[in-house]
Amino acid sequence: MRAQDRPQSGLEAGVVGSEGSCEGGMANRDMWRWLLSFVMPHWPSLGLVLSLSLIAAGAGLAQPYLTKRLIDDGILAGQFAVVLEVVAMIVGVSVLATLLGGLTRYLYVNTSARILHGLRESVFTHLLSLPPTFFVRTRQGDIHSRLDADIGEIQRFVVDSVLSIFNSVVILIGSVLILGAMSPQLTALMFAVLLVNALFLRLLRPHIERLTRSSREKGADISAFCVEVLGTTKTVQAFNGQPRESQRLAGLHERLRAESLRLQLVSYVASAVPGLVLSLTMAGVFLYGSHQILNQGSITLGVLIAFVTYMQRASAPMQTLLGLYVGLQRARVCLGRVQELAQQVPAVTSTSDATAAPLAGRGELELRNVSFAYPSGNRLILRNLSLHLPAGSRVALRGPSGAGKSTLVDLLQRHFDPSDGAILLDGRDLREMDLQALRRMVGVVSQDVQLFSDTALENIRYGRPDASDDEVFRAAQLAGADEFIQRLPQGYATRLGQRGNSLSGGQRQRIALARALLLDPRVLILDESTSGVDSEQEARIHREIDLLFADRTRIFISHRPLAGAEFDRALELPAPTLEAPTCTPA
């Protein structure tokens, strides 16, 4: 199924509830509490930012009052000394507000970036703890969109808007209080206008949220499509699929444009209508104030100018807050999408009393009545599998595709726990062992090799970052990789490209084998890991492994006859049926 036609991954369910629902309200509170957990470690910096913002806002609010003094007590009263004094104060307040604004902005951007980077790092770390099946059923482009675009949208809102919201609220409250002292009647009118605008925005809020989420999902569809197609470019070219893929991308763009236009229209209405109401209210205030001055003389020219200035000071933050409302809803939807990733539950975790220290032993394995079914599956992959492999065993594991060979490997590395039964390594249940310690003891080299866009040296050293260069060279020699690595343009310092695509399939397998050998594991599992080399080299690699790991357990998985010495035990997994396979010793 194509990226744009696939059903949603299920991440969207139940995080951002519908407006007005109890469940939705609880989900929203949970979401903001989750975000607050990243904010609280930085509260001293945020407290300083807020304090400086209050001072800067206060300095800004003082300027209209100083203007009133300049006109009434200075110019109209003919007191030039007062004019000089007030002008000096205006200059000082302006300079202070500017300096404090710049310092506040710097501190705030630094703090907000730390908060959001911590959020992304936390979600990324959590993703690395999820089982392989999560990444099979979830579109990679959707994950990338949430980690990149959605967090980017949150960061843009936080950096550009949150501090502006705080300053606007402070200025609005200060201006309204001062206006209330000047004219309670006009202030009451302003409150009525604010209430009308708030009710209007509340009516639009569900539509903004729905369109925002739909727009983000359409963008995620495009990301998923590009990741999928660009990752299979060779296949697309081989089957002349370029025109079809271009047409599919154009279709995705058309859907995104339509949704974006609807969102922009609603967003415009959300800001334009309240703005129009405010403008009309301002016109009415000007008319009323002018009538008071011209016909009743109840206020002075200085009071009128100060009043008008404070009205402008109050209307500007109101306009800002109305404009930021849509941005808040977008950030809210994006935060919910990011939180959905953090709410995915790992299949396995280390218990608080898990054994981290290496246990005594050389790789004895025992499976006791092990049964397993994938969480989303409808049948057992393995049923009542029992076997004992003494340390140092050389084991062949065979069987057709789907028989459960790779599933058994996943269980041995504890990507999943058995549905029933237990697996023991050197007498200890895997569930009682620390995950990192276990995966250092059980090394796996699979046919589907995963390399990183790094040097050959660092790819081999990935599992043991503290390994010396000499240890890396020795592992590469044992894996038959040293010779071709030496021929690379920069030897071991040569970068291998994305996923190691600059190498052949056999070369990638030998790099992966060297990486596993460097771990020096107690159990070494070779899952079709030498299928990319010729039989002579395969036999040589197996001999080297047998010499190095003679006293440790080696499991060779293959669909074909393996070159080299005899096996201590051969295990055959039958073809999958509706009944789960059991292990049959050969």
CATH value at residue 393: 3.40.50.300
Same domain, 456 and 319: no
**Is 431's pLDDT higher than 50?**
yes
| pLDDT digit string, tens, across residues 253-277 | 888 888 888 888 887 887 778 778 7
| pLDDT digit string, tens, across residues 460-470 | 998 888 999 99
Residue 2 lies in a domain: no
186-190, 256-260, 273-277, 541-545 — which is least confidently predicted?
A: 186-190
Same domain, 260 and 396: no
Q: Is the pTM of this model over 0.75?
A: no
User: CA quadruple 265, 269, 275, 276: dihedral positive or negative?
Assistant: positive
pLDDT band at 14 (very low <50, low <70, confident <90, very high): very low
Domain hosting residue 111, numbered range: 22-342
CA distance 111 to 132: 35
Q: If DSSP codes are grouped into helix, strand and coil, which group holds residue 397?
A: strand
Contacts of 87 (CB under 8 A, 6+ apart): 70
Same domain, 485 and 536: yes
Tokens of 291: 């009538």
Residue 405 lies in a domain: yes
Do 544 and 516 contact (CB within 8 A), yes or no?
Answer: no
Same domain, 438 and 314: no
pLDDT at 586: 45
Residue 348 lies in a domain: no
Say how many domains are in the chain. 2
**In DSSP terms, which residues pair with 585 in a beta bridge?**
571
- Beginning with the edge strand found earlier in the chain, give each strand of the sheet holding 394-398 in spatial order: 442-446, 523-527, 553-558, 394-398, 569-572, 584-585
Could you tell me the CATH number of the domain that includes residue 328? 1.20.1560.10
CA distance 250 to 85: 66
Tokens of 97: 């507000």
Percent of the chain topping pLDDT 90: 5
Same domain, 250 and 147: yes
Among 308, 342, 376, where does a domain finish?
Answer: 342
| pLDDT digit string, tens, across residues 196-247 | 877 887 788 788 878 888 888 888 788 878 877 877 776 777 777 788 888 8
Describe the chain by its helix, strand, coil percentages, rounded to 5: 65, 10, 25
Which has the higher per-residue pLDDT, 483 or 294? Answer: 483
Task: Report residue 442: phi and psi, to 5°.
Answer: -115, 105
Same domain, 432 and 322: no
Same domain, 380 and 329: no
Same domain, 271 and 384: no
Residue 137 lies in a domain: yes
What is the residue whose two structure tokens read 């065979």? 398
Same domain, 325 and 374: no
Among 290, 307, 342, where does a domain finish?
Answer: 342
Greatest CA separation for the chain? 112
- Beginning with the edge strand found earlier in the chain, give each strand of the sheet holding 420-425 in spatial order: 382-389, 365-372, 420-425, 428-429
Residue 301 lies in a domain: yes
Q: If DSSP codes are grouped into helix, strand and coil, which group holds residue 144?
A: helix
User: What number of helices (H) and strands (E) belong to the chain?
Assistant: 18, 10
CA distance 268 to 270: 5
Which has the higher per-residue pLDDT, 350 or 532? Answer: 350
Residue 354 lies in a domain: no
Expressed in angstroms, the distance from the first to the final Cα of the chain is 40
Same domain, 137 and 249: yes
Residue 55 lies in a domain: yes
Give, in degrees to the nearest 5, the angle at Cα 377 between 375 and 378: 125
Same domain, 264 and 124: yes
CA distance 455 to 488: 11
Same domain, 219 and 314: yes
Among 342, 374, 398, where does a domain finish?
Answer: 342
Residue 12 lies in a domain: no
Do 387 and 370 contact (CB within 8 A), yes or no?
Answer: no
pLDDT at 292: 66
